[in-house]
Structure formats: C-alpha cells, structure tokens
Amino acid sequence: MRIEELLGREGPLEYEPAVYCKCKKKAPRWISRSIMNPGRRYYACINRRAGGCDFWQWHDEDSTTPFVKQLLIDLRDKVWALAKENAELRDSFADARSGTEQQLVGTLQWTALTTALADKESEVFSLTGKLKKLETQRQLLVVAIIGCMCIVVGMLFT
C-alpha cells in the first residue's frame, strides 16, 4: 500500500471526472499553500512552467472560515519548521557520524602505531642483548690475542 493511500491522499492526476486545459491535456489538481487560500484545491496546466497554456481554475469554493485558514497556515508553517529542523538534525547527525568515523580511523591508526612501536622496542631489546654478548666475546678475543702475543714474545726471548 502506498503512503498516499494510507494518508488518504491522491496524486495530482488521480481524480475523476477529468478536467482538461487548453493544451487538451488532463490538468493536475493541486493544493494551495498560499496565505490567502490555504488548503484550497485548484487545476493548472501541467506544462505551465515550460511553455504550456495559462489554464487555471479552482476546484472548490472558498468555504474555509478565517479560524480554519489561520489554523492551516499555522500547521503549514509548523510542518515547514519541523522539516527544516529535521534537515538540520540529519546534517548534524551526518557530521557527527563523520567525526566518529574519523575518530575510529585515528584510533585504529594509533593502535597500529602502538603495536609497531612495541615490536620495534622488542627488537631493540633483543639487539641490545646480542650487542652485549658480542661485546663480551670481543673482549675475550682481545684478551686471548694479547695472551697469545705474550706467549709468542716469551718464546722468542727464551
């Protein structure tokens, strides 16, 4: 079921009997939203803004009381204000979502960098241990070479 059917609305061309404009086309029936005639229905040429004819006719007589006219105007203004507020909230929500997504990306990047840093620190710790071991071996090698040289020198003089 369409939303128009649920709300009791019909499309601009869904009415009978048909009313035809000077162009011989079925004229859509619109609802006025003007301050002077809120809620009144009228017919106008479907192509009036694109070179169509100047056909225009009221569908019903103006039987709206001043109270109802003002009520319709107030309701129309409220609907427009709520639509504007809704659009602003949607924009605000989209901005918030974008900010949240950027924060998530930043958090993921931070996590990746933290993990990479931890890996590098582990590698530095491992290399530091190897460096100390090699330094100790180098010192032992120097002592051994000096000891061998002393033995060779001692053998030369004996």
Average pLDDT, the chain: 88
Q: Which two tokens stand for residue 70?
A: 């003002």
3 state DSSP class of 30: strand
57 close to 42: Cβ distance less than 8 angstroms = yes
pLDDT bin (cut points 50, 70, 90) of residue 76 is confident
Residue type (1 letter), 108 = L
Per-residue confidence (pLDDT) for residue 1, from 0 to 100: 42
The pLDDT score that the predictor gives to residue 9 is 63
Q: Is the model's pLDDT at 7 over the cut of 60?
A: no
Nearest to 45 by CA among 31, 62, 27: 27
**What's the DSSP call for residue 42?**
E
Residues in the chain, total:
158
Whole-number Cα distances in Å, 74 to 34, 79, 119? 12, 9, 66
| pTM higher than the cut 0.75 | no
Residue 84 confidence (pLDDT) above 50: yes
Amino acid type, 75: L
Q: What is the DSSP string of 26-85?
A: BPPEEE--SSSSTT-EEEE-TTTTTT----EEESS-----HHHHHHHHHHHHHHHHHHHH
> Can you tell me the distance from the alpha carbon of 126 to that of 119, in angstroms, rounded to the nearest whole number?
11
Distance CA 139, CA 145 (A): 10
Alpha-carbon distance of 62 to 59, in angstroms, equals 10
Whether 8 shows a pLDDT value over 60: the answer reads no
- Per residue in 40-51, pLDDT tens? 889 999 888 888
**Residue 23 per-residue DSSP state:** T
| pLDDT value, residue 65 | 84
Q: Regarding predicted confidence, which is higher, 77 or 12?
A: 77
